[in-house]
Structure 1
Amino acid sequence: MTTTTTPRTVVITGGNRGIGYAIAEEFVAQGHRVAVTSRSGSGGPEGALTVKGDVNDTESIDAAFDAVEKELGPVEVVVANAGVTRDTLLLRMTESDFTEVIDTNLTGAFRVVKRASKGMLKARFGRVVLISSVVGLYGSPGQINYSSSKAALVGFARSLTRELGGRGITANVVAPGFIETDMTAELPEAQQSEYKKNIPAARYGTAAEVAKAVAWLASDDAAYISGAVIPVDGGLGMGH
């Protein structure tokens, strides 16, 4: 099966490292016009435009989109990937531990998608992909803030689908499981084996595998898919 690809202008938030970087690489490889945002305004793969953008700041996001539109044209695909963690058990979690994670992971996605949707409505075409997590539906001790923010993205995508689905705009969620990143590499060997025992695929995923799913949702082939949650987790979250 060949994927039909029309070159699009794509923005990926937090595309300077990890999963966001791999998503940007995949879109570049498929011949799209790609921009990534990072708080520093640097990073991002070769072939992508990197602009300064902080998802916690509406004016910063507006300026980032202005810069991308000037350089690459109207934004047709947006991937809300930027996220943070502040892991700790509920009784130790401060209110700022909770609100900081919600503001970046959920309200940050709102700021980005709201800005992107203006151009999409005008063009009557758009692809919104929100990067969630297996823990959004599966749950995880010590991650009440993070899993809440990631679960909320599902309701976001489904409400957006009902609002804008008739205008050629789709909104979907990709929920990665345990992915090989700098963060998982730092886990002790014993802990890594313990996690792998729960994954039917018996291995961690790669950032490239997440990127392929995201790029497919943005492709012409996925035009009739909206409000879906696509797990990329080796079977870890089945039924959740």
Structure 2
Amino acid sequence: MLGPIAWRTPPRHYGPWERVTSLLTEGLVRRGVDVTLFATADSETAAALEFVAPHGYAEDPQMDGRVWEALHVARAMERSAEFDIVHNQLDWLPLVFGAQWAAPMVTTIHGFSGDAILPAYERSASAFVSISDADRSPGLDYVATVHHGIDMVELDSSAATGDDLVVFGRIHPDKGIADAIEIAARAGRRLVICGIVQDAAYFAQRIEPHIDGDRVVYRGSVGPA
């Protein structure tokens, strides 16, 4: 399992790709599959852990993510002959070294940052899995759509519910946080916002002016609990 290294696996708070990587890894281990997880050194897993990066580069301004991701991928390639399959959760970078992998690869495509990265996918020999049918790129062939799972043990379905609306996710125009504020206002409901600020200008101009600690509350990036 070639995981991302922006954050720890599983993440302490934000880190959606790391979260999915953890759920898949631990699920495979419970099913008796021999798994090696390539992630950060501080990751927590029942699988064998292989690492280069001491911790997530998104948590350390002294780390260059491009450098550490390259070192991370190189370590996995060095050991790839030991594995039956490599499951890539790390976006496009591992795809450009197709001839160097000694095991077949399947890549879960968590999303595209833009059309500019598509050549890496189009020229790759990896098999592709989409996270939803709507998230597919029309120019790629996919073997399946596998929707993200959740760990039901972490969710208390018997907990009492309230009237608040809640939005989880990075604060970015793509996630529609400003739309959520408008929806909550029109519905007369209190809105609780949780997530990292990824677009500072969007936050300052469209989100922060509405945060009053009463009708619109911002709690930062929160963990699973």
Specify which structure has the higher proportion of helix: 1
Q: Relative contact order: is structure 1 or structure 2 higher (C-alpha 8 Å, sep ≥ 6)?
A: 1
Larger Rg: 2
TM-score (norm 2): 0.41
